[in-house]
Amino acid sequence: MAGRIRLKTKLVFAITAMMVALVSAFASVYLSQLIQHRIADADDGAHFVANQVFNATRQALELDLTSTKVDTNDPVALKAAIEDSLQTDPGLNSLLQSIVGYSPTIYDVALVGLDGHAMLHTDPQYFGKVIPQRENFNSVRDGTLRQQLNVVYGPPSVYEIRVPIERDNKLFAEIRVGISTVFLKSELRPQLNHALAASGGAILLSLLLAAGLSNWALRPLTTIGKKLDLMTLGEPSQDDSAPAATDEVGVVTTKIDRLGRQMRDVKDVFSALKDNVDQIMANLQDGLMLFTQDTRVVLVSAAVERFLGQPRNELLGRHAAEIFTDDSPLSRALVDAFSQHRPLVQQEFENSAGERILASLDFIEEGAEQIGALMVLRDAESVRRIENEIEISHRLAAAGRLVSGVGHEVKNPINAIVVHLEVLRQKLKEIDPDARRHMDVIGSEIQRLDRVVQMLIDFTRPVDLRLADIDLRRLGEEVAMLASPEAARQGVSIKREWGNEPLIARVDADLLQQAFLNVVLNGVQAMPKGGNLWLGAKRSGNEVELTVRDEGTGIALDIRDKIYNLYFTTKKSGSGIGLAMAYKVLQLMNGAMDFTTAVGVGTTFRLHLPLLGSGREAQIQTPAAGVVKEIRVQAEMGKK
């Protein structure tokens, strides 16, 4: 679960954060109340002092100036008289001195006139001087907690409150009481520090308690999470045998276990089906593409990569219109078929690599609703080659049946002729030398005819394969050595291209060696003027490909479809059995044989055999009923 926070961790963090936030809120309220209470006390004390000064000043101003020499009509003289009266009033001055001396938060007290000059001040040096206004203490009293904390923990400063004084119903002056934060700091800071420490401890304690309690309460989530992880990995629970709890968590855990078992069963079935489908798709020679209802590809066989030239992983999940985007006839035909919802009957096209392929498209329906489509791609050359092989097999089978009947019918008269010839020799005591020579010629020709007939009979009989796992490179080397004397007489040089990779196949070594030798000797005899003959072996997919390439005259176009026919030959001394026998041997071992040729350039024969482990190896077959002894194809067949 690396890379992301687990649900349990998130819940623990959330609960802990909520508890911390709650305790922090209570602590903030407590601190705010503590500060506001002390500031309110300072504000009330300052207003009390201002009211005292206000009352004393009103009494000092209630003097009768008519009995004095002061000109009451002269404002300047009147103001000077009032200031002198205030400054000399013993009660007012003693009050000011007592306020500063006994009130720790009061910094100073001043009576300031309308022009801003101090008429009276606790510090006599400020008499008559302009007193600048300070920030009103109301901003602290009504401010936020942060502003109030800044007053306590910030730099020292002086605030003031103002109380206006009237004389004869006119504003005369104002009383300014200065409040020093130094005294507030000295009073509030110890209390605030204690409160902050208590709040921090409470927050830390709540953090630990919330984390511990929430972790304990959410512990079952760990068990559920582990079970979900095991379910995701497809592994069985390790404590299936443990008794199930009866609480809500136990019920949920039991249901998760049951669901996990069901998912594992489904996953096993799905994995087996997927493996089977993948194996089938990998071994199919045809290209298959399965489309959903919206033409999205959901299944692709390995052969499609060769036909379309695109990797399988790039085709999966894409729409048909995104795959067939070029202007080739194949793409146009498939896009039209999808757009018109019309099946595409098997047609032959040429892909981008120049190969001829057969393509068909069928729509899959359930009821009256179309649920998908299946496209099939086949190699046109392979289809034609298979059809030719089937045709050749049919011809060989028909020829074999005919030859078998004819061989048996001819065999009996030959045996009779041989017997009577021997009887004739015994009856003739003295034979003319010319007659004896003629009889010897007749005997030798009858023996040759008998061998030919015997070869025909052997060719049509069932063969009991002696299978063994051998390296075809070694077999090829043995064939090259057997063919070397004939190649030397023809002036042919044999070139070998075996490679370094072992090519193990399950074959009948004797039969395959004779078949391969027949093809090699044909290649040697196709070069009467000498040349090079290349023998090779390589792996091609799940097959071994043996090749014989000559520099002969090539095979004419009009006889290419006849070379596997029994008794067909273009050589004066040939029997027409060698290639037919080789073709039959390859079929017996689940192999195949084909060729390419160019007149005047040469011919290449390819012998295909399944590799060991490909699943297509030849199997031992029981001979047909009535065949008692083992029948082997004679080596002489390939030499004739």
Answer whether 468's CB lies under 8 Å from 507's CB.
yes
Please state, in angstroms and as integers, the Cα–Cα distance from residue 562 to each residue in 10, 557, 565, 591, following that order. 81, 10, 5, 20
Q: Kindly report which listed range (166-175, 239-248, 306-315) carries the lowest average pLDDT score.
A: 239-248
- Determine the pLDDT at residue 608: 92
Higher pLDDT, 519 or 3: 519
What is the C-alpha to C-alpha distance for residues 157 and 169, in angstroms, rounded to an integer?
Answer: 35
Q: Which amino acid is at 110?
A: A
The more confident residue out of 419 and 400 is 419
Any idea which fold 383-459 has?
Helix Hairpins (1.10.287)
- Quick one: which of 308, 353, 610, 328 has its CA closest to 469? 610
* Interacting residues of 290 by C-beta distance below 8 A, sequence separation 6+: 297, 298, 299, 300, 372, 373, 374
Is the pLDDT assigned to residue 549 strictly greater than 50? yes
Query: What's the confidence (pLDDT) of residue 607?
Result: 93
Q: How far apart are CA 111 and CA 99, in angstroms?
A: 14
Q: What pLDDT digit, counting tens, does each position of 492-524 carry?
A: 999 999 988 899 999 988 888 888 998 999 899
475 vs 626, higher pLDDT: 475
Encoding tokens for residue 596? 């390419």
Report the predicted TM-score, pTM, of the whole model to 2 decimal places: 0.38
Q: How far does the chain reach from its first CA to its final CA, in angstroms?
A: 76
What is the number of H-type helices and E-type strands within the chain?
A: 18, 16
- Residue 332: the pLDDT is 85
Contact present, 564 and 580 (Cβ < 8 Å): yes
Q: Is 462-639 in the same CATH topology as 280-379?
A: no
285-289, 344-348, 541-545: which has the highest mean pLDDT? 541-545
Determine the pLDDT at residue 636: 37
In percent, how much of the chain has pLDDT > 70?
77
pLDDT at 136: 85
Contact 552, 529 (CB under 8 A): no
| Confidence class for position 8, pLDDT limits 50, 70, 90 | low
Per-residue pLDDT, 369: 79
pLDDT score at 346? 84
Q: How long is the chain?
A: 640
Rg, the chain, Cα only: 58
Tell me: pLDDT of 3 over 60.
no
Q: Which of 45-54, 78-87, 286-295 has the lowest mean pLDDT?
A: 78-87
CATH pick for 280-379 out of 3.30.1330.60, 3.40.50.300, 1.10.275.10, 3.30.450.20: 3.30.450.20
Domain boundaries, the chain: 7-206, 238-278, 280-379, 383-459, 462-639
Per mean pLDDT, which range of 284-298, 491-505, 537-551 is the poorest?
284-298
Closest CA to 12 of 198, 222, 253: 222
Q: What are phi and psi of 172, to 5 degrees?
A: -110, -45
The highest-level CATH class for domain 462-639 is: alpha beta
Distance CA 63, CA 158 (A): 34
Burial class (CB in 10 A: 0-12, 13-18, 19+), 157: middle
In the chain, % helix, strand, coil (3-state, to 5) comes to 55, 20, 25
Task: List the CATH code of the domain at 7-206.
Answer: 3.30.450.20
| Dihedral class, residue 531 (left if φ above 0, else alpha if ψ from -120 to 50, else beta) | left
Query: What secondary structure letter does DSSP report for 294?
Result: T
